[in-house]
Amino acid sequence: MKRLDLYVGKIVLGAFCAALLFFLFLSILVDLLNNLPRYAERAANENLGGVELAIYLALYYSKLLPVLITTVTPFATVIAGMFAVARLHSANEIVPMLFVGRSIHRVLAPILGCGALGCVLMVSSWQWVVPQVGAALATNETFLRQGSAMQKSLVHERSSEWPHQFMYVLAYDPVNKRMQDVRMLIQGELDSDAALVTAKAGTWDSQRGDWLLDGGRYDRSDGGQPQQWLKRPDLTPEVLLQQSRETIDPETMSYTDLAELIEARPNRADVRLALHRHVTYPLANILLLLLSLPMAVRYERGSRVDRVLATMAMCGAYFLLDLVCQRLGQREWIHPIVAAWSPTIVFGSLGVVMFSSTRS
């Protein structure tokens, strides 16, 4: 990179980090102020003191940070780009850059590089970080909003190898590591190999590394017999929470998990929509810069407030269309793929035209 690229990149990177921290803090503050009375009530019902509640909330919001990053990063990218251009304008540094032979697109290239960095940050967070905290977040949110950490209707599937196993749990208590109303269907390569394991309850035995069944039975077409252990040492309590498909929000699942879930549940529109939004939403970091930078780069005199308001209106229109398409796609009024890609195609085309027509 040239020296000017490093100079502009340093400005926009500093602005990006500051804006990202601000939006993360603002999101946590808004959630805390809106729900603090409810959280205090739950803590009183569970006999938690003020210190215990503070520690619990600190751990909860630390787990929430990766999810918030996948939400607010495009906003931070736009603010950083606008701030960088405004700083260069206020110091009268853009015109000398143009005077030495650089086009305005070359001057703004480091800012678009920051947008690409935001894309990488969101994709990495969605693939490797968010899935690790998704199950724990579901448990914490259930406790804070309902006063209990009990999880309802857990479904776990293992269909990548034979025998295929599909398990349904009516309720699961992650504190005591106890399942209620357990049913596991085992499918072999032949229909005659099918079996059903049922139990009133199952408790995790850490020493044995398996689930101890209460009233467990193993039934096949040729008969049945009692069964004491589930015989699933791979299905630890952590794995059960992380990979249970019915309790985890698709927005907190990785690309790999969503692809596997689509193969197992091809009729779930919300899962297909989430997978494609995992691709299109990170692109908003670059797309919104293509829309906002041409408005920020102005050589005529005029109110900067008008430019900022115009940029906010353009970005707001994008997010409004994205929200509408999400709702339509989840209700299957339009195809999920069309719902996920429509805002990107519409505003992406507009952004390319506006950015390419920026005057030098």
Angle at 195 between CA 193 and CA 200, to 5 degrees: 170
Helix-strand-coil percent breakdown of the chain, rounded to 5?
65, 15, 20
d(CA 183, CA 255): 28
Residue 266 lies in a domain: no
- pLDDT by residue (tens digit) across 157-214? 887 778 889 999 999 888 789 999 999 999 988 877 899 999 999 999 999 999 999 9
Asked if residue 66 and residue 44 are part of one domain, the reply reads yes
Please state, as a whole number, how many other Cβ atoms lie within 10 Å of the Cβ of residue 110.
Answer: 22
| DSSP code at position 249 | -
d(CA 11, CA 272): 38
d(CA 8, CA 20): 18
Alpha-helical segments (H) within 91-207: 94-99, 104-107, 109-124, 130-146
Q: Do residues 203 and 214 lie in contact, with contact meaning Cβ atoms separated by under 8 Å?
A: yes
Residue 255 lies in a domain: no
- pLDDT by residue (tens digit) across 301-344? 656 677 778 888 888 999 999 999 999 999 899 999 999 999 99
Q: Is the predicted pLDDT of residue 218 greater than 60, yes or no?
A: yes
Token pair for 146: 């309902």
Token pair for 113: 């590089």
Closest CA to 180 of 240, 112, 135, 250: 240
What was the pLDDT predicted at 2?
A: 82
Angle at 93 between CA 12 and CA 109, to 5 degrees: 45
Asked if residue 139 and residue 91 are part of one domain, the reply reads yes
Asked if residue 132 and residue 8 are part of one domain, the reply reads yes
58-67, 141-150, 160-169, 347-356: least confident range: 141-150
Given pLDDT bands bounded at 50, 70 and 90, which one contains residue 246?
low
What was the pLDDT predicted at 30?
A: 95
Residue 262 lies in a domain: no
Q: Is 89 or 360 the better-scoring residue by pLDDT?
A: 89
Q: Do residues 18 and 77 lie in contact, with contact meaning Cβ atoms separated by under 8 Å?
A: no
Share of residues in the chain with pLDDT > 90 (%): 56
Average pLDDT of the chain, as a whole number: 89
What was the pLDDT predicted at 226?
A: 95
Residue 336 lies in a domain: yes
Asked if residue 139 and residue 277 are part of one domain, the reply reads yes
Share of residues in the chain with pLDDT > 70 (%): 95
What residue type is assigned to position 132 of the chain? Q
What was the pLDDT predicted at 301?
A: 61
Q: Do residues 149 and 143 lie in contact, with contact meaning Cβ atoms separated by under 8 Å?
A: yes
What was the pLDDT predicted at 264?
A: 72
What residue type is assigned to position 281 of the chain? Y
Mean pLDDT of 121-144: 85
What was the pLDDT predicted at 302?
A: 56
Place of tokens 């339009």: 334
Mean pLDDT of 126-138: 84
Length of the chain measured in residues:
360
Asked if residue 21 and residue 98 are part of one domain, the reply reads yes
Question: What's the predicted TM-score (pTM) here?
Answer: 0.84
Q: What is residue 230's three-state secondary structure?
A: coil
Q: Can you spell out the DSSP letters for 127-152? A: IIIHHHHHHHHHHHHHHHHHS---EE
Residue 38 lies in a domain: yes
40-54, 107-121, 125-139, 232-246: least confident range: 232-246
What was the pLDDT predicted at 10?
A: 95
Asked if residue 82 and residue 43 are part of one domain, the reply reads yes
Q: Do residues 360 and 103 lie in contact, with contact meaning Cβ atoms separated by under 8 Å?
A: yes
Angle at 130 between CA 76 and CA 42, to 5 degrees: 95
Q: Can you spell out the DSSP letters for 333-347? A: SS-HHHHHHHHHHHH
Q: Is the predicted pLDDT of residue 104 greater than 60, yes or no?
A: yes
Residue 201 lies in a domain: yes
Residue 162 lies in a domain: yes
Place of tokens 């890609």: 341
Asked if residue 228 and residue 139 are part of one domain, the reply reads no
45-49, 99-103, 217-221: least confident range: 45-49
Q: Is the predicted pLDDT of residue 73 greater than 90, yes or no?
A: yes
What was the pLDDT predicted at 189?
A: 80
Closest CA to 211 of 244, 234, 194: 234
When divided into structural domains, the chain yields a total of: 2
CA within 13 Å, CB half, 46:
19
What was the pLDDT predicted at 176?
A: 86
Asked if residue 103 and residue 30 are part of one domain, the reply reads yes
97-111, 246-260, 281-295: least confident range: 246-260
Asked if residue 168 and residue 78 are part of one domain, the reply reads no
Q: Is 289 or 311 the better-scoring residue by pLDDT?
A: 289
Q: Determine the structural domain holding residue 338 and report its residue range.
A: 3-147+272-356
Asked if residue 22 and residue 136 are part of one domain, the reply reads yes
Please state, as a whole number, how many other Cβ atoms lie within 10 Å of the Cβ of residue 223.
Answer: 7
d(CA 178, CA 141): 19
Asked if residue 76 and residue 57 are part of one domain, the reply reads yes
Q: Which residue among 232, 248, 264 closes a domain?
A: 248
By CB atoms closer than 10 A (0-12, 13-18, 19+), residue 111 is buried
Q: What is the CA radius of gyration of the chain?
A: 26
Q: Is the predicted pLDDT of residue 64 greater than 90, yes or no?
A: yes
Token pair for 336: 């999920």
Burial 72-98 (b: 16+ CB within 10 A, else e): bbbbbbbbbbbbbbeebbeeeebeebe
Compute the CA torsion angle 193, 199, 202, 205 (nearest 10 deg).
-50
d(CA 259, CA 249): 14
What was the pLDDT predicted at 241?
A: 77
Given pLDDT bands bounded at 50, 70 and 90, which one contains residue 132?
confident
Asked if residue 219 and residue 195 are part of one domain, the reply reads yes
Q: Which residue among 182, 215, 248 closes a domain?
A: 248
Q: Is the predicted pLDDT of residue 153 greater than 80, yes or no?
A: yes
What was the pLDDT predicted at 24?
A: 96
Place of tokens 């030495």: 100
Mean pLDDT of 267-277: 90
